Structure 1
């Protein structure tokens, strides 16, 4: 696609516009989109109008812009993540009904844990995770599972970068994270007390596809003082069932 006068392509400008939308910023004006995307006002208004015409974005009666249903349709039509979520949902519901705390499914996406689904009840404790939200790999139980069973190149790249702690309990020393990853591989699950929020403990297990590759992490978030054993058993059981639904035979 053609480049602009500043050298960025039309594709790059389109992606920057879509990335201005977040789980907490779902409606914007065209001017706000342009400012956040770093685009001239005229370019932003023109591209936004074209995206609205094609259903990728929607404009409401107050001329505010939101992500369009057509974009959701295109994204989910042939998504491997949709197949994974559909296979996992019955077993996630079982975990949530028995553990009665937040139950989540995450995949590795651009060096972060991207959450595809979260089930909760009114009695569930504190949890900052959102569907389509992301968490750092080193700072979350799901991320630790995805990292521990991920490519060695990813591990080395992450451990050679600066790891920012989210709480006093978050592991940010590369050698401490390396030891934690070895523990996760040995135990087959990750327990992360206070890593994301000091009042909570994340517990995650790997989910394998038909090839035996780890493609997701299934997790629950418990109050910090809760015993993890029952949740660990339920998660392992559900992960095995999801794997079988995906065609994995251990």
Structure 2
């Protein structure tokens, strides 16, 4: 159910983020690590760009091949077309990536991402500094609201759940750690879009009013967008320079997080986001 922004005209201005002048200027290692990861993911080119034969050039080309099959298995010809690499170079890279378990051949479908990447992804999730530092705030948020709480980071035009604490209710929402979701569905996605580049917001005509409301009040809500009967409330986790490092959310059945009750969850979600910022030194 989509809501008119008029219903929120009474939002509490105390929920707004404090002025930037009051925020410490020191960028910690943890904040920088997460910020740099997001910047690299958002700026990563579609194809290789470094000089041929250099170590970085080889890595760029291998990354381009893996990016080409990120959405599903592709044939050799498709990979050549998408990456713009020569057939000889593509064949050499695919063979090497197969040997290391980063790609595998799927019968007549072509090549897909290999199981070795799953192990690396699991390790990365476990060792991500943001996740470790944010977990206490996530647990408190779940305990305070009684609903499931999640932490998301942005990866290009998607968001990834890097931590979650499930509600103790029998009827609850569960978002698996590692789940990849679109930015255009759910309150956490709105957070990333609302504080994203202006040109990006302008392209989202359907969400333009909602994103403007999200920025004004400092939090976002969602009702049945990601899945029927599921509602959520999210707030941004800011780093140095007002960059959104992550989005923290509570989600649950729409019967418990009804539209008129959503803003009662907002203070707890915003408080959790500020706690994460404090832990990061942002």
Distance 1:244 1:212, change over 3 A: farther
Distance 1:246 1:13 in 2: 34
Matches within 5 A, 1:205-224: 205-224=235-254
Could you tell me which runs of 5 or more consecutive residues in structure 1 were left unpaired when the two chains were aligned.
3-8, 22-32, 59-64, 160-173
Structure 2 partner of 1:28: none
Q: Residue 57 of structure 1 contacts residue 71 of structure 1 at CA under 8 Å; is this kept in 2?
A: no
1:98 deviation in Å? 2.6
- Partner residue of 1:71 out of 117, 120, 127: 120
- Partner residue of 1:134 out of 154, 164, 181: 181
- How many residues align structurally? 205
Distance 2:209 2:124 in 1: 37
Structure 2 partner of 1:106: 152
* Length-normalised TM-score, structure 1: 0.65
Structure 2 partner of 1:164: none
| RMSD (Å) for aligned C-alpha atoms | 3.7
Q: Residue 56 of structure 1 contacts residue 71 of structure 1 at CA under 8 Å; is this kept in 2?
A: no
Distance 1:120 1:85 in 2: 15
Deviation string for 1:16-72 (max 9, x for gaps)?
Answer: 34x267xxxxxxxxxxx56599469xx9998666335446469xxxxxx52356634
Distance 1:14 1:147, change over 3 A: closer
Structure 2 partner of 1:149: 195
The structure whose residues are more often helix, as a share, is 2
Structure 1 partner of 2:108: none
Q: Which has the higher contact order (CA 8 A, sep 6+)?
A: 2
